[in-house]
Amino acid sequence: MAMHVEIRTDNHIRGSDQLYDGIRVGIQSALKRYAEQLTRVEIHLADVNGPKGAADDKRCLIEARPRGLQPIVASHQAANLDDAVDGAADKLARALDAALGRLHSFKSPQPQPPAEAEEE
């Protein structure tokens, strides 16, 4: 089952199919390790300062919804949308590693090596 990716923009970002397709492919690639565990990924793009412009005013917030867990969120601001999306995706992957890695280690403990027999 593939994860569902939704992309939303504020009214200062001109969305296009090309923009959405590129972001969708990048996110699916960045999060492919978790594809079976994620039900949905929501990407929110914003131009923080709107038409005024400023350095690092593009923000990407990504909300991942792992099956059976609370959503995990990461965001990043950068000078352009590509860098903002890449930064947020990197942060989200690290957060998923931490959350799902811990969960996995609790659910399936590592087998213990057999105890060595003591010499008499």
Q: Give a yes or no: residue 42 inside a domain.
A: yes
Q: Is residue 113 part of a domain?
A: no
- On whether residue 120 sits in a domain, the answer given is no
Contacts for 78-83 with beta carbons within 8 Å, 24 or more apart?
79/55, 81/13, 81/19, 81/23, 81/45, 83/58
Q: 119 in a domain, yes or no?
A: no
CATH number at 35 reads 3.30.160.100
Within-domain flag for 51:
yes
* Overall number of domains in the chain: 1
User: At residue 51, does pLDDT exceed 90?
Assistant: no
114 falls within a domain? no
Which ranges constitute the DSSP H helices of 1-120? Answer: 17-30, 81-107
Minimal CA–CA distance to 68: which of 110, 38, 30? 38
**For residue 98, is it within any domain?**
yes
**pLDDT band of 117, cuts 50, 70, 90:** low
Q: Examine residue 63 and state whether it is found in any structural domain, yes or no.
A: yes
- Domain range holding 44? 4-105
- Give pLDDT tens digits for 102-113: 655 444 444 445
The H helix count followed by the E strand count for the chain is 2, 4
Residue 2: pLDDT band (50, 70, 90) is: low
Q: Which pTM does this prediction carry? A: 0.78
Placement of tokens 């939704």 in the chain? 6
